[in-house]
Structure 1
């Protein structure tokens, strides 16, 4: 294909170019998302003249219908969530009422005027908002960004003078709320709280953020403020339920996207196989597609799932383009850049500028780019592996075609059970609604520490159940027994000399282990303690930015893993043993001779050894490890089948462990089809005879203390979940099981034993039992 000008890009012609020759069989499915006309509404009469003038000066003269609806609801003081597509202009919907209130000082009871808080999940997103607001320059509205890098003197000025403070939940939790007395004038005048990208706040992280938001609203009420909360989200199912769970109050949802959209062509792509029959790597295929697209003048972003993946994609695409340029009499190669976490603000701004002027034609980025940088106007998107949810998929697809042009998006399937299944069932990508964002704001493992933090801010009373739910009194009593709170006639008080908020980590559970270069002392990265036991134990090979390192020491007391750079010629794989105890069975559903159940379990895991593995998969050594076991109390779903039923299915007693193990792996891989999770957020255990059930049992559990809602969704959607699992295994073309069906990258037993055919037989029998009528007793 000849080099194309920006206005000439035809996504169908581009796709035809990509799928020629040897790649012809890699294009599995193509779907066209049709164009859509926009719907406008009149500019609100209540908008402050200074705000209207600033926006008109930026060329914004009309509102899309959903923007107007959000603005009107928020102006009327109603909590609202807007959940519309990428580039639909969600921010304008909340900026109109917020900036109007700040400009006019509406609701102010002090001389400083009305105030507002903007909360973003990343510093980068807050920086983008700050840049936009400074560009608007609404007279009289003082905007400031407050994060962990803000100097003390600047923080003091922000407390005393800023109207619109851009921050994040972490700073609220660690700084503003514990020191709320110093923020009293600001909180007294608080009119709006904006929670951007709220779809990020699912699972345990969402439960933490929910507790922080409720603590904020409680403290604001202490100063006489009742701020209106405006939430913005990517498209999710039931956004009103998500938003209400976050703030603990009724929230109105606006979901009808009235912005215009040009046509999008979306393709599903199988990477194919190498000459020796092995499956091509997802990152390698993505890099090749990126190079081809950029070489044809198609400005493209390629999303990879890890920092290492980003570096690999960018480097390989760059090498391919440079090689082609050298073969064409030394002409300059189009520029390809990488983007991932850790970039400085000035680096981000320079990259944005290079994308806008098309100096950079290709970009490899982590999915965090969705929340951190304005990459409007690209021609195409390549996605390396299913991003986990339909919401994330469409969010990434929407990053192209934002200047009114048609666009192309290509999903390159990874070597994962869910990706394999989606290639065979494209209707699940295109015709199903986006997922629910699941969180449990009353998870006691999360809420308990936040109640302690709330008590340190203001004494807890039974009336605070309006903020924290009906379980408040019981949790407060438990905290009192543990010496964390003390009871007085006026409520429960923080009983310790240290800071309560320091005992809560919003973005993780447990300690974080730093990975340190033993020679230079440089911190290479971090990993949570649970994963440290299997990834940075002594002797493990740790890869940083494509460079291998060997772990020489893991000091859990100091939370440090020391490494030395060097490639030993092999990788390592940890082996572990897991057991589970059923503490409480919440609900049981008989399926004929089978039983499906959900409840609370205690999972104990111990890493016992590690293997040295060559690149071709050959194990050249197994080495014992002496590491502590880890116990997790969480929520789980499990099913049982008696041995005689397994025999009827054709699975003899000797084959039961492998059949159950394979079924467990595949079901873990398929759960993200239904729940908003990644396979790394969940775990599983299978056993041929469990002491608590007395039967062969397969269990899948949430990988977070107290649970995250994933297994509950699995229980309620069990028939669909297990049917999809069985179909995936049965339709996979391998003979004995592969990473596309029953092998797992996180298996503690090295994927042994596994019986693919046995898993199919077991799941067939399990699903047939669901149709058996159980006699009444």
Structure 2
């Protein structure tokens, strides 16, 4: 069901007037950098469309909103609020800063206050038992929940209400406070992790909240993708099941999201319902200032290229990538790194370019966010900007900072307030600030490298020019096949449809532990199965769980009979375990945290750890206690770790590599002599050494071995195998094969995001001249999440289209022997060696000659 009749595509202007934003002169240095601006498009301002307050609205709440300056709501706010009040599940998809919170707080708080009034009126009557309405608000981050509580408290204070008890409750909340929340709170703001690990397993303590649950608000719904999205979908179904178990009615869900493709379908998949049962509100009635968006390519470097060397029989990219869906860790470098002789004119790195732009904007007094691809990148940009500005003004240099995951909560709150107030002019951030923390009034946004999806780009861009003001956005390309393609094909950025949110609640790696958790909460009955997906498919997974002794089957249902909590079987975010605390050895001061999966590569013994421009050296990493002890030290170098990896197929019935609960059997198809495969794999990786590189010239100072345990990831991969006779017929001899396959692997990983809702950091890869499980030269591309996330499956489904785009991108690149814009990778575990661009094109041509239509190449097609 769609409200207001149409679904806008963010990023498609009604007109494209000339780009004349005053800050463009700052970006181009009054024309000196004009050649780097590849394309500019200005999106016209949008006027506000108002509506009257709904008649059912609580008068005091309306008075509170008016006291805060909201005289009349916008049309999309009223449309969504009306639907929620009628008890309809709602998919609200509108732009950043469009006031989505009013759409869910108005009906939710009105219901809470009405329940309190009814309870007061019924006091003293034996026949009157009034069930007070409760509300659960879920956000993907603690920061957003805290920000929403601040805004909610401001509203309730303005309204003069004293009868609504709202509070946050998460993993940091002390036990005594949790008890008060369970017994008294009307509105609980939390996250899916607390719901999964704490609230639902202890549901008997939360009976009052669950019995009265009227609304569940799921904020930033577009963040729930991949494995994380699949887990959250099943957690929400467990929540609804328990609410009904305690005699409550099915709660109404309001899912607020950035504008996405087909939001009703995404919300229906999240809730386990039909899209026809979801009311979709997409017609944005909020005002928007004029926004100029530019595509920017850093200049070529004319000096000698930096060199890297190394090699291995099996080539790999991203050996152990388990990115936090909300703050991905990237092993990103801040200089251009090339294979010897690979690029005659490598380009300047996006982080260095963004640092220059941010410094110039700050010097002109423009408040700016610079989004980077990694925590390392955020620290690097902030430090470079401070170094640029310090000779001009130490006070100005002090108004630039970094913001990233791993900071302590109080430190992040201080930075958020400082950028809001204008105390800070520039903030270099990971995508931790892409989500709904309310930061408005910014003049510009810089985006260093493609953020993965158009949806993320427009979400980040929406931070510029909020509250009706004009804004400037610059997407600065990295030297990467996808980024290069996008800045030279602006239609792929501005005119292509937005992506759908991709996740699969039926993923057996996700479904199996979630079914165990549901069975521990309340034994599963046959009538419950449809709630968790296709009943036949769910029953298959349950049969495997019973066979493995994880559940017991009884005539009345399926039971969890173990002492340990079943919730511990599921890792919602694929983070690989408890985070590692970074502690200053001399004082015991906690500096921050690092995800468990990233710790080996980032805080190993001898690693340099940077925190707001201050450098520390890791004295000791204790993986058993999950702590890295660091020592404050000024150094002139950074550290980069090296991994080794192997990958094996998990064949059905293999006792050494048992498939996960209910996993699908491998799939195969043939292109003549070429074999395509899709199925479960086991990826084993180990950090074996690290390099110290002098900054800023990146000269290798030394290499030191490490003794760290290996890590294993069970996931899903797509692969293709090529017999020797096909390679020889293509003119690729045995010596060229490793470099050809390695280059093709890198390029394929770089281009798959054109076809799947993912980015390079969601993927890993391996190439080998002869794999023991296939017996042939093989290239693997795998999902960097436990169990998989649907990206490899997308590559398998669109294999021919994917390889054509890959071949075209490599062949069209003007470099002679390979560069970061085509076959080099910023996260290669083998130092981008060996790589053979020309042989990669010959291999790809050979594969495509055996494709169904037999033609070797065609132009790449941008995914819809």
Is the pair's TM-score, using the shorter chain for normalization, greater than 0.5? yes
- The equivalent residue for 1:499 is 565
Identify if the C-alpha distance between structure 1 residues 409 and 144 changes in structure 2 by more than 3 Å, giving closer, same or farther: same
Correspondence list, 1:368-383, <5 A: 368-371=432-435, 373-383=437-447
Pair 1:192-2:192 in alignment: no
Pair 1:208-2:289 in alignment: no
Out of 701, 714, 720, the position equivalent to 1:639 is 720
Q: Name the SS of the counterpart of 2:229 in structure 1.
A: helix
Pair 1:74-2:142 in alignment: no
Alpha carbons 1:379, 1:407 under 8 Å: kept: yes
Out of 338, 352, 368, the position equivalent to 1:300 is 368
Identify if the C-alpha distance between structure 1 residues 654 and 462 changes in structure 2 by more than 3 Å, giving closer, same or farther: same
- The equivalent residue for 1:253 is 280
Identify if the C-alpha distance between structure 1 residues 551 and 146 changes in structure 2 by more than 3 Å, giving closer, same or farther: closer
- The equivalent residue for 1:421 is 485
Q: Name the SS of the counterpart of 1:316 in structure 2.
A: helix
Cα deviation 1:472-523 (Å, max 9, x = unaligned)? 3333333334333333443222222232223433223533462555833555
In structure 2, what is the Cα distance between the partners aligned to 1:341 and 1:534?
16
Correspondence list, 1:104-119, <5 A: 104-105=114-115, 111=130, 113-119=132-138
Q: Report the aligned-residue RMSD.
A: 3.1
In structure 2, what is the Cα distance between the partners aligned to 1:604 and 1:359?
47
In structure 2, what is the Cα distance between the partners aligned to 1:575 and 1:564?
25
Pair 1:457-2:516 in alignment: no
Out of 748, 753, 762, the position equivalent to 1:681 is 762
In structure 2, what is the Cα distance between the partners aligned to 1:383 and 1:467?
40
- The equivalent residue for 1:4 is none
- The equivalent residue for 2:25 is 16
1:153 deviation in Å?
3.4
Identify if the C-alpha distance between structure 1 residues 102 and 515 changes in structure 2 by more than 3 Å, giving closer, same or farther: closer
- The equivalent residue for 2:145 is 126
Cα deviation 1:298-320 (Å, max 9, x = unaligned)? 22222223333333333333343
Out of 647, 672, 676, the position equivalent to 1:596 is 676
Correspondence list, 1:229-240, <5 A: 229-240=253-264
Correspondence list, 1:287-326, <5 A: 287-325=355-393
Correspondence list, 1:257-268, <5 A: 257-268=284-295
- The equivalent residue for 2:660 is none
Correspondence list, 1:272-287, <5 A: 272-274=299-301, 276=303, 279-287=347-355
Correspondence list, 1:570-589, <5 A: 571-581=639-649, 583=651, 586-589=666-669
In structure 2, what is the Cα distance between the partners aligned to 1:625 and 1:322?
38
Correspondence list, 1:474-623, <5 A: 474-512=540-578, 514=580, 516=582, 519-520=585-586, 521-522=588-589, 524-537=591-604, 554-561=621-628, 564=631, 567=635, 571-581=639-649, 583=651, 586-591=666-671, 593-607=673-687
1:124 deviation in Å?
1.6
Correspondence list, 1:122-161, <5 A: 122-137=141-156, 138=159, 139=161, 140-161=163-184
1:376 deviation in Å?
0.9
Cα deviation 1:269-310 (Å, max 9, x = unaligned)? 122245625533322221221121222232222222333333
- The equivalent residue for 1:3 is none
Q: Name the SS of the counterpart of 2:33 in structure 1.
A: helix
1:538 deviation in Å?
5.1
Pair 1:466-2:530 in alignment: yes
Identify if the C-alpha distance between structure 1 residues 489 and 671 changes in structure 2 by more than 3 Å, giving closer, same or farther: same
> Which range is displaced more, 380-389 or 300-309?
300-309
Pair 1:766-2:847 in alignment: yes
> Which range is displaced more, 276-285 or 20-29?
276-285
1:415 deviation in Å?
3.2
In structure 1, what is the Cα distance between the partners aligned to 2:751 and 2:613?
29
- The equivalent residue for 1:5 is none
Cα deviation 1:186-205 (Å, max 9, x = unaligned)? 21111110000011111111
1:627 deviation in Å?
4.9
Structure 2: segments with no counterpart, 5+ residues: 1-18, 120-127, 306-346, 653-664, 856-864
Out of 67, 75, 97, the position equivalent to 1:87 is 97
Q: Name the SS of the counterpart of 2:392 in structure 1.
A: helix
After TM superposition, the score normalised by the length of structure 2 is 0.81
Q: How many residues align?
A: 761
1:454 deviation in Å?
1.6
Q: Name the SS of the counterpart of 1:363 in structure 2.
A: strand
In structure 2, what is the Cα distance between the partners aligned to 1:621 and 1:296?
41
In structure 1, what is the Cα distance between the partners aligned to 2:736 and 2:538?
49
Structure 1: segments with no counterpart, 5+ residues: 1-9
Alpha carbons 2:379, 2:611 under 8 Å: kept: no
Cα deviation 1:36-58 (Å, max 9, x = unaligned)? 34434443222232332222332
1:531 deviation in Å?
4.1
Pair 1:217-2:240 in alignment: yes
Cα deviation 1:648-692 (Å, max 9, x = unaligned)? 433233312211110001111222233232323211122233344
1:72 deviation in Å?
2.3
Higher relative contact order (CA 8 A, sep 6+): 2
- The equivalent residue for 2:59 is 49
Alpha carbons 2:400, 2:427 under 8 Å: kept: yes
> Which range is displaced more, 619-628 or 18-27?
619-628
Out of 13, 26, 37, the position equivalent to 1:27 is 37
In structure 1, what is the Cα distance between the partners aligned to 2:469 and 2:621?
52
1:560 deviation in Å?
4.6
